[in-house]
Amino acid sequence: MEEEKVVHKELSYKITGLLFKAHQDLGICRNEKQYADYFEELLKKEKIKYVREYKFEDKQYGQGNVRCICDFIIDDKIIIEFKAKNFITKEDYFQLKRYLVTLNLHLGILVNFRQYRLSPKRVLNSNYFKK
C-alpha cells in the first residue's frame, strides 16, 4: 500500500498545535487581531520563522492589480488565514486559494476561532510548481 503524503507534515502539525493552544487559551470571543497577536507570541517562543500581514499584489484575477494581505506566512511555506466569525464561506476558501496560487505556495491553513471546536482546514494549491 502506498504511503500517504502530507504536505509540510511536521511544520503543519506544529502550527496546528499552536492554533489549538491559542483557541484554548483565548476562547471564542476575541477578534482576529487578538488571536493573531497571541499566535505570533507562540511562534516567537517556538522560534518558528514567519512573516505577519504579508502584503502583495494579485495580478491574476479581475482587472488591474488587487492589493492583498495574508495573515501569516510560516517559514516561506505555509499561509495561515485567521477568521473570527460564525462560519467560513466559500469566499474565505477562494481567498486562500488565490493567495496560494499568486505566491506559489503549496499549503494554506484556514482557521475560524469563533467555533467551539476548532477545525483548521488544510487547503492545497493544485497549481503549485517547485522553484
Q: What is the pLDDT of residues 73-110, one digit of tens each?
A: 999 999 999 999 999 999 999 999 999 999 999 999 99
Does residue 4 lie in a domain region? no
Residue 112 confidence class, pLDDT cut points 50, 70, 90? very high
Provide the number of structural domains found in the chain.
Answer: 1
Question: Whole-model pTM?
Answer: 0.89
Share of the chain above pLDDT 70, in %: 91
What's the rounded Cα separation, in Å, for the pair 54 and 72? Answer: 7
Does residue 131 lie in a domain region? no
**For the residues 31-36, what does the mean pLDDT come to?**
96
Q: What is the pLDDT of residue 56?
A: 87
Q: What is the pLDDT of residue 3?
A: 47
Does residue 67 lie in a domain region? yes
